[in-house]
């Protein structure tokens, strides 16, 4: 599919029966992650002039990810008045949101690594799975802390 196929494979190559590799699958996975977290498609008009979805995300790492996150995702994370402008610095001052910000930065970093134009620079799926599992564990720890804190407040 346009935008999800790695640059080293053209559609004519796919049509000629060349072998597909896990490198190509990893590239597509990276693009899918970028699309999910930014809300942008690799085929959007803004990516027609040489800029790619990967370039867009990579330029925002690590300090400007709040500027590229999908509005709906950001609203769910912040859970407050979206008329307020949030950036990485003022979100990080909001307690457990630092863990969320680090998780988002890590996921986008994984997506950028997976979508590298050079196949050998892409992460392997075992590494991707381990990194995503680690991020999930950190987020679950934050969620458990919030639940305990909320439970303590209710009991008082």
State how far the Cα of 118 lies from the Cα of 24, in Å rounded to an integer: 10
pLDDT tens sequence across 62-103: 999 989 999 888 777 766 544 455 555 555 445 567 888 899
pTM score, whole prediction: 0.76
State how far the Cα of 95 lies from the Cα of 98, in Å rounded to an integer: 6
pLDDT at 53: 96
pLDDT at 2: 73
25 or 3: whose pLDDT is higher? 25
**Token reading at 136:** 């999930």
pLDDT at 12: 41
Question: DSSP alpha helices (H): ranges in 4-124?
Answer: 11-15, 22-38, 53-60, 71-78, 88-92, 97-114
pLDDT tens sequence across 137-147: 988 876 555 55
Mean pLDDT of the chain: 80
State how far the Cα of 88 lies from the Cα of 100, in Å rounded to an integer: 11
Does residue 25 carry a pLDDT above 50? yes
Does residue 109 carry a pLDDT above 90? yes
**Percentage of residues of the chain with pLDDT beyond 70:** 69
State how far the Cα of 102 lies from the Cα of 81, in Å rounded to an integer: 22
pLDDT at 136: 94
């Amino acid at each position: 599919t346009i935008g999800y196929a790695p640059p080293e494979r053209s559609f004519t190559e796919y049509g000629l029966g060349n072998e597909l590799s896990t490198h190509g699958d990893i590239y597509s996975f990276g693009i899918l992650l970028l699309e999910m977290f930014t809300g942008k498609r690799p085929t959007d008009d803004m990516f027609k002039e040489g800029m790619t979805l990967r370039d867009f995300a990579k330029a925002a790492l690590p300090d400007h990810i709040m500027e590229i996150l999908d509005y709906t995702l950001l609203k769910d994370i912040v859970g407050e008045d979206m008329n307020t402008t949030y950036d990485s610095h003022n979100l990080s001052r909001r307690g457990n949101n630092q863990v969320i910000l680090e998780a988002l930065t890590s996921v986008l970093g994984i997506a950028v690594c997976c979508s590298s134009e050079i196949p050998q620079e892409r992460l392997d799926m075992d590494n991707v799975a381990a990194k995503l599992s680690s991020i999930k564990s950190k987020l679950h720890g934050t969620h458990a802390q919030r639940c305990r804190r909320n439970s303590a407040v209710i009991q008082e």
